[in-house]
Amino acid sequence: MKLPACCRTLTAKCLLLGCCAALFISEAVYADSGIVSPAPQRVAELRHLLREDCGACHGLTLNGGLGSPLTAAALAGKPGDSLVATLLDGRPGSAMPPWRPFMSEAEAQWLIRQLQQGVTP
């Protein structure tokens, strides 16, 4: 059975509206965490920093080296605030330097969230 043109247009509009709503809801859930995604250029810079600088100690695949692993499994159950503090302020008496001069707290929160979700650079 073929739908009349007006119904096909309405169906297409409803489908588009549904997709937009799903995208909005998924963004709202992410935004509800209070973590704001950086601008695309900054995301690229942070991923580069993670791959090159963090990878120098934590392993190029982030599975550990001089530093501990930064995989989702290794970070599971660890409080995000504590991880952000370690990232920004380093660990005195260890090889972990402070990265606060190179990123904001919001960027550190975003980066930790990415690592906890298993997103790799």
Q: Are residues 52 and 86 in the same domain?
A: yes
Look at residue 3 in the predicted model and tell me its pLDDT: 53
Q: Are residues 55 and 83 in the same domain?
A: yes
Q: Are residues 47 and 101 in the same domain?
A: yes
Look at residue 116 in the predicted model and tell me its pLDDT: 96
User: What's this model's pTM, rounded to 2 decimal places?
Assistant: 0.71
Look at residue 53 in the predicted model and tell me its pLDDT: 95
Q: How many domains does the chain fold into?
A: 2
Mean pLDDT of 106-111: 97
Q: Say whether pLDDT at 9 is over 60.
A: no
Query: Of 100 and 31, which is predicted with more confidence?
Result: 100
Mean pLDDT of 100-110: 97
pLDDT, tens digit, for every residue of 35-52?
889 999 999 999 999 999
Look at residue 54 in the predicted model and tell me its pLDDT: 95
Q: Are residues 103 and 53 in the same domain?
A: yes
Q: Are residues 69 and 15 in the same domain?
A: no
Q: Are residues 56 and 92 in the same domain?
A: yes
Concatenated DSSP letters of the chain: -PPPHHHHHHHHHHHHHHHHHHHHHHHHHHHHTTPPPPPHHHHHHHHHHIIIIIHHHH-TTSS-SSSPP-SHHHHTTS-HHHHHHHHHH--TTSS----GGGS-HHHHHHHHHHHHTT---
Q: Say whether pLDDT at 84 is over 90.
A: yes
- What's the CA gap between 85 and 7, in Å, rounded? 55
Q: Which domain holds residue 24?
A: 1-32
